[in-house]
Amino acid sequence: MSAVIAVENHSPLNVEEIRKDFPILSREIHGKPLIYFDNAASAQRPSAVIDATHDFYSRRNANIHRGVHTLAEEATALYEQARQTMARFINAPSDRNVVFLRGVTEGVNLVSQAFVRPRVKPGDQILVTHLEHHSNIVPWQLLAKQTGVELKVVPMTQAGELDMDAFHGMLNERVKLLGVVHVSNALGTINPVADMVKAAREFDIPVLVDGAQATPHMAVDVQAFDCDFYCVSGHKMYGPTGAGILYGKSRWLEEMEPYHGGGEMIKHVTFEESVFNEPPAKFEAGTPNIAGGIGLGASARYLLDVGLDRIREYEAGLLAYATEAVQQVEGLRIIGTARDKASVISFTLEGIHPHDLGTILDHSGVAIRTGHHCAMPIMQFFEVPATSRMSLAMYNTRDEVDQFVAALNKARDILA
Amino acid sequence: MSLQDLYRTAVIEHNKNPRNFLELENPSHQSRGLNALCGDDIRVYLSVDEDRIQSASFLGQASAITMASASMMTVQIARLTVGEALQTCDRLDQLLQGEADEALREALGELCALEGVRQYPSRIKAARLPWQAMKAALNEQQIASTE
Ligand SMILES: Cc1ncc(COP(=O)(O)O)c(C=O)c1O
C-alpha cells in the first residue's frame, strides 16, 4: 500500500464524497430529497456494485465452472475472485472456507441441517439469545421438531444487552451449538462475540455467528473471533440481494454432509452413488447467483477501500448525535440502550402508532422501518407491539438527522 | 395524495378519543383482529340479542386508521341487525375499492372519512381489520388475522 493511501485511510470519512457513490441518494420522494434510514432492512448500492453486475451481464455472462470458452472462463474467474475478496473481507484463512449462498437465512439453515442435525440426540440443547432475528430462531425450532433437541434462550437486560452471567450458567456439555447475532437488527446491540466463543470453547460448543448487521459497520475477523461459522447477507453491506456467504472452519466443512444435491457439488455421479466435491463446492449445488456473488465481492472491495475503521468512527459520531437529537422529541422512548451499539435506534413515540409514523415520515421523504423487525421475541420482552427504527449508514448525515427530528415533530402535531 | 387526505379530521378525532373503548360486561360474541406485521391488535366485543347488535365495543393497540375504523364501527353498528351490520361492512369494502356512489356514501356517513386509505394498499387492511374481527366474532371465531 502506498504511503499516500495509508495517510488517506486515517483521515475521517468524507460523507459528501461517499454520497456521490450512491446514485439513489439523489432521488426525491413526495417532492422531498430521500432520507434513507432503513439501512438495516437493506442498504443502498454504490455504483461500484451496480457497475460490477452490469459489466457481468453486458460483457461476460456465462455459466461458471462448466465451459472452456472465453466467457465461461471470465465468468468463473470473476466469481472466484469475489470469493477471495470475501475471504479477505472477513479474514478467513482461505477462500475454501467461503461458501456462496443466498444470505444469512440460508446459512443458518445449512448449518442446522448439514452440521448440527447429524450430531444431536433428544435432550441435547441449542443455545441462542433473546436478541436473535427470526432466521436464527426458526431453523432451530424446525431442528427441534426433527430431532428432539431443546432450544434454550440466553436472556437479556432492560438495556437490550445479553445477561452474561446467565449465559455462562447455561453452558454445559449438552449444548451442541451456540447461535448468536453479532449485531442486533432490532436494537443495534453489539454482542461480545469473541468472549462468548471463548466461554463456549470450554465445553467444546461450536458457535455460529449471524453477521448480517455487522459487516456494513465494522471490520470482521473470523479468526480473531475463533467462531466456527459466520453468516453474511450481501444486501445489508451494500451488495446485491440473494447473495451472501457462510464462513465455516475447514474441519467442519470437510466433515459435513452436503445440504442440497445437484450439479456442481459432485465429482462423479452414477445411478448407484455420487462422489461429492470438496468444500466449498460441496455446498453449492446448482447454478448460483453469479452476478450476485460478483456484486457482493464488489461491495466488500468498496468497504475495504473506504475503510471499515473510518466507517465505524463516522457512524459512532452520527449515532451519538442522533441519540441526543431524538431524545429532544417529546414522548419518544428509545428501546435498546446497550453501551456498545451499532447505528440503530429503535423507539416508540407516545400517542403515535409506528405504522402511522412510517406513513407520515414517508411524506417528508424519510424511509424508516416500522413493525417487529423479524424479532418478535424482542417486542414481547419490551411489551410493545412494534417499534419504529432508524438505522443509519455511512452515507447518512447530521443534517438528515435534523430533518428527521423535524418530521417526528410534525407527526406529533398531526396525531398526538 | 396528501397526508390530510389520509388523516382526515374525523380519523384523527376518533383515534384520539375512541368511542366504546372498553370491554362489554357480558358480550355474546367477541374476537381478536390481528395484523402482526403492522403491530395492530384489537379485540371486538358484541352484545347480540334476537339478531340485533345491542352494543359493540373494542380495546387494543393499533394504527390511527384501525383505531378510527373500530371506533366508528362500534358507533355505527349498534342497534343494527346482524344483516345490516354485515351490509355496512360490504359497503365499506366498496368504498375502499373506489366503487362508492352518492347513495352508498350517504349510507356510510362518517365512515367515508376512511376513504383516504385507498392510495395506501397496506393501510386498506388496517381499515378493514375491525370489521373482519366483527365478522369473526359473529362466526364464533377466536381470531381474524390479515396478511
Ligand atoms: C440480524 C439479522 N439476521 C438475519 C437476517 C436475515 O437476512 P437475509 O434475509 O438476508 O437472509 C437479517 C435481515 O433481515 C438480520 O438483520
Q: Which atom number of ligand 1 is nearest to the Cα of residue A104?
A: 11
- CA of B79 vs chain A CAs: smallest distance (Å): 31
| Residue at A7 is within a domain | no
CB pairs below 8 Å between A and B: how many? 55
Query: What sign does the dihedral A188-A190-A191-A193 (CA atoms) show?
Result: positive
Which chain A residue shows the shortest CA-CA distance from B11?
A: A415
A410, A315: one domain: yes
A203, A340: one domain: no
- CA of A346 vs chain B CAs: smallest distance (Å): 15
* CATH number for the domain harbouring residue A394: 3.90.1150.10
* pLDDT score of B37: 76
A99, A82: one domain: yes
* CATH number for the domain harbouring residue A135: 3.40.640.10
| Residue at A5 is within a domain | no
A284, A346: one domain: no
Residue B137's closest CA among B60, B79, B82? B82
- CA of A284 vs chain B CAs: smallest distance (Å): 33
A124, A60: one domain: yes
Is B31:B134 a contact under the CB 8 Å cutoff?
Answer: yes
Q: How far apart are CA A48 and CA A296, in angstroms?
A: 10
The SS3 call for residue A50 is: helix
Residues 6+ apart with CB under 8 A from A175: A124, A125, A126, A127, A152, A200, A203, A205
A69, A165: one domain: yes
User: How many Å separate Cα A243 from the centre of its chain?
Assistant: 11
* Residue A292: C-alpha distances to residues A102, A219, A241, A273, B71 (Å): 9, 22, 7, 32, 49
Considering A288, A305, A322, which residue would you say is the last residue of a domain? A305
Q: What are phi and psi of A98, to 5 degrees?
A: -110, 115
Q: How far apart are CA A157 and CA A187, in angstroms?
A: 12
Q: Could A355 and B12 be called an inter-chain contact, meaning their C-beta atoms sit closer than 8 Å?
A: no
Mutation target for B interface from A349, A353, A374: give the one with most B CBs within 10 A: A353
* pLDDT score of A6: 46
Q: What are phi and psi of B49, to 5 degrees?
A: -135, 125
Q: How far apart are CA A58 and CA A335, in angstroms?
A: 46
Query: One-letter amino acid identity for B17?
Result: N
Peptide bond into A280 cis (omega under 30): yes
A311, A227: one domain: no
Q: State the ipTM, two decimals.
A: 0.90
* pLDDT score of A43: 98
Q: Does B12 touch chain A (CB under 8 A)?
A: yes
Residues in chain A predicted with pLDDT less than 70, given as ranges, are 1-9
Q: Does B126 touch chain A (CB under 8 A)?
A: yes
* pLDDT score of B130: 97
Q: Which residues share a beta bridge with A245?
A: A100, A232
Structural domain containing residue A93: 51-305
Q: How far does residue A2's CA lie from ligand 1's centre (Å)? A: 37
* pLDDT score of A1: 41
- CA of A218 vs chain B CAs: smallest distance (Å): 30
Considering A270, A305, A340, which residue would you say is the last residue of a domain? A305
A313, A300: one domain: no
Q: Could B7 and A354 be called an inter-chain contact, meaning their C-beta atoms sit closer than 8 Å?
A: no
| Residue at A8 is within a domain | no
Q: Which atom number of ligand 1 is nearest to the Cα of residue A105?
A: 11
| Residue at A9 is within a domain | no
* Residue A186: C-alpha distances to residues A151, A160, A238, A397, B40 (Å): 21, 10, 19, 21, 18
Q: Which atom number of ligand 1 is nearest to the Cα of residue A40?
A: 16
Q: How far does residue A200's CA lie from ligand 1's centre (Å)? A: 24
* pLDDT score of B121: 83
Of B1, B38, B120, which is closest to A386 when you measure between CB atoms?
B38
Tens digits of residue pLDDT in A203-227 = 999 999 999 999 999 999 999 999 9
Which domains, and CATH codes, for chain B? 3-145 (3.90.1010.10)
Q: Which atom number of ligand 1 is nearest to the Cα of residue A234?
A: 10
The SS3 call for residue A246 is: strand
What are the E-state strand segments in A117-235? Answer: 125-129, 150-154, 175-181, 207-210, 229-233
| Residue at A89 is within a domain | yes
Is B124:B62 a contact under the CB 8 Å cutoff?
Answer: no
Of B2, B16, B41, which is closest to A385 when you measure between CB atoms?
B41
* pLDDT score of A9: 53
* pLDDT score of B99: 86
Q: How confident is the model at residue B1 (pLDDT cuts 50, 70, 90)?
A: low
Which residue among A131, A231, A233 has the greatest number of ligand 1 atoms within 8 angstroms of its CB, and so is best to mutate?
Answer: A233
Helices (H), A271-336: 290-306, 308-326
Q: How far apart are CA A339 and CA A351, in angstroms?
A: 28
The count of domains in chain A is 2
Q: Does A356 touch chain B (CB under 8 A)?
A: yes
Tens digits of residue pLDDT in B107-146 = 999 999 999 999 888 889 999 999 999 999 999 888 887 7
Q: How far apart are CA A86 and CA A219, in angstroms?
A: 12
User: What cell does A283 get?
Assistant: 455446498
Residue A177's closest CA among A244, A224, A227, A131? A227
A246, A315: one domain: no
Considering A305, A326, A341, which residue would you say is the last residue of a domain? A305
A300, A317: one domain: no
Q: Which residues share a beta bridge with B34?
A: B41, B145
Is A196:A174 a contact under the CB 8 Å cutoff?
Answer: no
| Residue at A6 is within a domain | no
* pLDDT score of B147: 57
A323, A190: one domain: no
Which residues 30-69 on chain A approach chain B with CB closer than 8 angstroms?
30
Atom 16 of ligand 1 has which residue's CA nearest to it? Answer: A185
A152, A296: one domain: yes
User: How many Å separate Cα A270 from the centre of its chain?
Assistant: 39
Is A14:A38 a contact under the CB 8 Å cutoff?
Answer: no
| Residue at A4 is within a domain | no
